[in-house]
Amino acid sequence: MFRQRPKEECRKVREMLSEYLDNRLSLEGQTAVEHHLEGCPGCRDELDSLQMTVRLLHRVPMVPSPRSFALADSEPRRLAYSQPWVGWLRPATAVAALLLVFFFAGDLLHIFEPAVLPTEGEARLMAPEEAQPAPDVPADVFGAEKSLPTGPAGSASQPRSPESPLPEEAAAVAWLPPVEIALSILVVVLGGLMIFATWQRRRVARARISPEKRE
Amino acid sequence: MEEQELISASQAGDLDCFNSLVERYQRQVYNLCLRMLGHPDLAEDAAQETFLSAYRAIPRFRGGDFRAWLLRIAANACHDQLRARRRYHPASLDSLVLEAESSLWADQDESPEDYALRQELGQFINEGLASLPEEQRSVVVLCDIQGLSYEEVAQVTRSSLGTVKSRLSRGRARLRDYLLEHGELLPPEFRQYK
């Protein structure tokens, strides 16, 4: 007479039977399953039926290939090997786009502008009637008769003071717009190339390349 | 040529070497596609797409199990087909394929009645596979029909070993239940479990 096995134990053992069939259980698991099977005819039937199913599947034959799937010597070669740069398009576009976002964000948040205020001596040196414009500073930025460039709020039409932007600060941000423009152009160009390459690949994939496939 | 030499030559652009690889693996690829899609025309399309995709991707192959890599491409091609068609017609297997299959199943001294029974049994197994969810079907086909190990199946399906074991266990049990519903066509030793 078989003693009644808890349903939970049977459920757990049945989940292990597939691995048990394939000898993929640990020694401990294998022992536990075999011990359970000794006293549980329901689980033994479960194991036997699974084993029969696997045996039937093992008898499913490998059907011969209906034809050769060898590729013809045509477009796939040109696309695969004449455009090795295509594989670099996506990461290059992503990097350019990230740099563009970084510089745009930095420009909006003014993180590229130096935070250090000039000393009184430095401010006197930079007075328009005395100082030569720095080589990398546009000549009209600090012209005496011209209005100051629009910068932080309130500074556009104020006379020069120690707190107003110095040539170094203006120089620090003057390079930003050209960089942003260049990155924008780069992203557009790379993105366009990527779209074109993808379209071309899909166009070939839709065509039937192998001559054996054609009627 | 050794397989690694064929792969290296294929990566360098040698189409003949790539086609040698195609000849080696096309039967396995076609059979996976046939068991996944259940129709020879769909299986042909998926197999052709597999080798086309493999040809484009082989420059990025970084070594390892080439068969698993190729079968993964095939599994993806089948998935794309299933997603596009959203249905599975195992009953649409045409008689030509069924005859080719059943001849492989037949024994030498088989009677016509046994031949017919075996033909129907093959059909039921195909229908049973069709009744499985796609992820269970792929694991059962790869493991029990194609003969891949758990680790290879995990590579092909890009899932963990635990997931493979779970899907295989459920797939086998579900297929067993389906076959038991048609117990009158099963071998006698199977029918007792109904």
Residues in contact with B111: Cβ distance below 8 Å, sequence separation at least 6, in sequence order: none
Instruction: Show residues of chain A in contact with B175, CB under 8 Å.
Output: 53, 57
Which of B30, B140, B190 minimises the CB distance to A65? B30
Q: Is the dihedral of CA A190, A193, A197, A203 positive or negative?
A: positive
Instruction: Show residues of chain A in contact with B26, CB under 8 Å.
Output: 65, 68-69
Minimum CA–CA partner of A60 in chain B:
B145
- Asked if the Cβ–Cβ distance from B55 to A71 is below 8 Å, we say yes
Helix/strand/coil (H/E/C) assignment for every residue in A6-51: CHHHHHHHHHHHHHHHCCCCCHHHHHHHHHHHHCCHHHHHHHHHHH
- Asked if the Cβ–Cβ distance from A53 to B175 is below 8 Å, we say yes
pLDDT-based confidence at residue A112 (cuts at 50, 70, 90): confident
- pTM equals 0.62
The neighbour count for residue B38, using CB atoms within 10 Å, is 23
Residues in contact with B109: Cβ distance below 8 Å, sequence separation at least 6, in sequence order: none
Minimum CA–CA partner of A70 in chain B:
B19
The neighbour count for residue B170, using CB atoms within 10 Å, is 18
Per-residue pLDDT, A153: 46
Give pLDDT tens digits for A154-197. Answer: 444 444 455 555 555 555 578 888 888 898 999 999 888 888 87
Which of A45, A52, A63 minimises the CB distance to B34? A63
- Asked if the Cβ–Cβ distance from B59 to A45 is below 8 Å, we say no
- Asked if the Cβ–Cβ distance from A80 to B59 is below 8 Å, we say yes
- Asked if the Cβ–Cβ distance from A62 to B175 is below 8 Å, we say no
pLDDT-based confidence at residue A118 (cuts at 50, 70, 90): low
Minimum CA–CA partner of B188 in chain A:
A52
Helix/strand/coil (H/E/C) assignment for every residue in B52-87: HHHHHHHHHCCCCCHHHHHHHHHHHHHHHHHHHHCC
| Nearest chain A CA: its distance from B26 CA (Å) | 7
Size of interface A-B (CB pairs under 8 A): 123
Nearest residue to A17 (alpha-carbon basis) of B115, B11, B165, B179: B165
**Residue type at position A1:** M
Residues in contact with B170: Cβ distance below 8 Å, sequence separation at least 6, in sequence order: B136
Give pLDDT tens digits for B142-184. Answer: 999 999 999 999 999 999 999 999 999 999 999 999 888 876 6
Residue B38 clears pLDDT 90, i.e. is over it:
no
Separation CA A92–CA B32 (nearest Å): 37
